[in-house]
Amino acid sequence: MNQRFLAVIPARGGSKGIPKKNIIDLNGKPLIQYTIDAAKESKYIDDIVVSTDNQDIAEVAKQCGADVPFIRPADLASDSAKTIDVLIHTVSELKKLGKTYDFLILLQPTQPLRLSEHIDEAVEKIVSTGKASLASVSKVQEHPLLIRSINGNDELVPLLNSSSTVRRQDFPDYFKVNGAIYINLLKDLNHETSLNDNIVPYEMDYRYSVDIDEMIDLDIAKLILASKGD
């Protein structure tokens, strides 16, 4: 491919659910290493940059083979900081270093089970479609036909205005953005970009979509990795 692809891995130091989450041990490796390794094994990624405000994370990322050309400013490392602003800051800083790209690939380090094959298939799909954005998705396990809210009269209200009196195997497919892979054409990226509204879907099996937010997610990831012999 003639296009240049930048992979950005955002990994701030603060984490409420799991302290030092991005470098916590997962089956003998720091969490962030799984994402860095997948990016390194990709056929298409030209550069891998970790954006972090934390020196410990920066050192681990470098040891794992990623570039950390700058430390993220504190205002982009707060709980309220938006990922899109972090990405635009990263691209801007790299441009100052003379590095430019056609596509940006966001790889969140809290998604350790995503593989290089997934990244490459996603890249191939967005290039083949000629469209500007892609998000990885997985089929929902809790089907929206069975989801209800409770109104002020203590009554169940269906999420969808559709009959749920069908066999489960006949339920229509629904997908959720799983957060593992986002790809955006850089020339179209701006502060108003909503990554979760990217257009092209790349479907992944839900087993690769574990998102590490709480300790139970870490335990699930350990079980899956152990079952695969990793």
Sequence ranges of the domains in the chain: 5-139+175-227
Q: Does domain 5-139+175-227 have CATH number 3.30.2130.10?
A: no
pTM of the model: 0.91
* Residue ranges, the chain, pLDDT below 70: 229-230
Burial 38-72 (b: 16+ CB within 10 A, else e): bbeebebbebbbbbbbbeebbebbeebebebebeb
Cβ-count burial of 180 within 10 angstroms (0-12 exposed, 13-18 middle, 19+ buried)?
buried
Burial 121-147 (b: 16+ CB within 10 A, else e): ebbebbbeeeebbbbbbbeeeebebee
- Contact between 181 and 202 (Cβ < 8 Å): yes
Predicted local distance difference test score (pLDDT) of residue 29: 96
pLDDT digits (tens, 9 = 90+) for 61-85: 999 999 999 999 988 988 888 999 9
Residue 63 phi/psi, 5-degree rounding, is: -60, -30
pLDDT digits (tens, 9 = 90+) for 6-23: 999 999 987 777 878 999
Predicted local distance difference test score (pLDDT) of residue 222: 92
Cβ-count burial of 19 within 10 angstroms (0-12 exposed, 13-18 middle, 19+ buried)?
exposed
- Contact between 182 and 198 (Cβ < 8 Å): yes
Predicted local distance difference test score (pLDDT) of residue 156: 92
